[in-house]
Amino acid sequence: MATDPWDGATTIPLLPCTDVDEMRDFWVALGFDLNYRQLRPNPVVSLRRGAVDLQYFGLEQLAPEDSCSSCVVVVSDTEPVFAALAEGLRSRYGRLPLTCFPDSHGDAQQARKILAGALRREQGADLGYRIGALAFLAGLAVRTQDPEAARATLDELAVLTASLDEPSPAVALALAQADELRADLGRP
């Protein structure tokens, strides 16, 4: 019986970026190893961590907020992956970045409405998910220049977490992000 030539094939995404060296520096800070880099004739960078391969090509005219490129990485447990990536981001930026291109097609205000609605509908959601969502919602309020809403959300988060004994690593990261937001907003 013949084997299918596709068996054992590997897929490596080739994603556009405006600067391959910025992508290299970003992913190396997150624990990826640089496999390959070239600038001519076409800028390309290849990175790897574990079984995850990423390749970027330079496209100067790219507007990242308009890009629809995606790469999905499936892991068995997201919590340690999130913790490792958060640690790398903190080492690179001194904190978890609070600005980016959120869901809802780059419209932070729309993302804020969607998340707030989901939180209202799912009052009984898992505490860990609710804590993470509230921390993210507070970040969205900051991004949309609504410090009062951010403070109110952080106050709600503080009430929700006041009785926590020992939070999981993901919850601890969400709470650390909330603490950074409080500091940015000038509130203890």
Residue closest to 57 by CA, chosen among 31, 29, 38 = 38
Query: Does 106 lie in the same domain as 147?
Result: yes
Q: Give me the tens of pLDDT residue by residue for the chain, a chain 188 residues long.
A: 678 888 888 878 889 998 999 999 989 988 899 999 999 999 999 999 988 999 999 988 887 777 777 888 888 887 888 888 888 888 887 777 655 554 655 677 888 888 888 888 877 767 877 888 888 889 889 888 899 999 999 999 998 888 888 877 778 878 888 888 888 888 55
Domain holding 42, by residue range, is 1-70
Query: Does 84 lie in the same domain as 49?
Result: no
Q: Where are the beta strands (DSSP E) in 18-167?
A: 33-38, 44-49, 52-58
Query: Does 188 lie in the same domain as 119?
Result: yes
Query: Does 61 lie in the same domain as 2?
Result: yes
Residue closest to 26 by CA, chosen among 104, 101, 85 = 85
Residue closest to 71 by CA, chosen among 130, 21, 11, 125 = 11
Query: Does 120 lie in the same domain as 31?
Result: no
pTM over 0.75, yes/no: no
The whole-angstrom separation of Cα 178 and Cα 95 is 11
Query: Does 65 lie in the same domain as 113?
Result: no
